[in-house]
Amino acid sequence: MGRVDDKHVVITGGARGMGAAFARRLAAEGARVTIADVLVEPGRAVAAEIGDAALFLPLDVTDEGDWTTVIATAEARFGPVSGLVNNAGIVHVDPIEKLSEADYRRVVDVNQVGVFLGMKAVIGSMRRAGVGSIVNISSTGGLIGYADILGYVASKWAVRGMTKTAAQELAADNIRVNSVHPGIVATEMTAASDRSRSIAATQPIARPATPEELANLVLFLISDESSYSTGAEFVADGGFTTQ
């Protein structure tokens, strides 16, 4: 028996990095996974690697029509959705005085509006499933501030608050909503960053996390093992925010 044998989970940003690790881990524990991303070929490759328990669908998380199509198509393939991991995210680096409105809005649209649209789109399917767990990937940037990434920090603080509001609204439908706050994770987004490496070096656990370590946390939150947790913040940062 797997830990999520009865689950159908949609994962945004699932074509690489943490999202791909989430898909592999959940599928290994019995879930059917719908991988959704704007990166079509990498997404198809991850789904093909996983096999019959995986489906890839293209998704722009900022497009409400795309969300409607993805949830309907995924449900037709694997049945009602019982898990959603809002993982898609981007970052733009610039000090405030050089940050353009367009770049700020682009980050907020993906990281914040995308989470809103995902939660909204999946509620009906989760009601049909009779149970749901939504995991919103925030960041330590949703707990503290970082210079030069204002849009990212603003969006990740928003995800933290949106999670708490959704948890209150959806509990009556047996839908739980929690946020995950990674620190530095060794992915394509951070691997080449000197800043990321220098931050990780200051932590009590002085290294980046692996995507698989975050996948274990997401697995717990999607599974019924976390059945009494909602509206909560789960921090996986090597102890960075304890300093």
Active-site residues, by number, are 152
E strand or H helix at 84, and its extent? strand 83-86
- Sheet containing strand 83-86, edge to edge, reads 54-58, 32-37, 8-12, 83-86, 132-137, 175-182, 233-236
Task: Assess contact for 166 and 177: CB atoms under 8 A.
Answer: yes
Three-state DSSP at 54 gives: strand
Q: How far is CA 124 from CA 54, 186, 205, 206, in A?
A: 21, 35, 41, 43
Q: How far is CA 126 from CA 16, 85, 109, in A?
A: 25, 13, 24
Could you tell me how many residues make up the chain?
243
User: Which amino acid belongs to residue 131?
Assistant: V
Residue located via tokens 């000197």:
194
Tokens standing for 45? 């490759």
Closest C-alpha to 18, from 188, 141, 200: 188
E strand or H helix at 60, and its extent? none
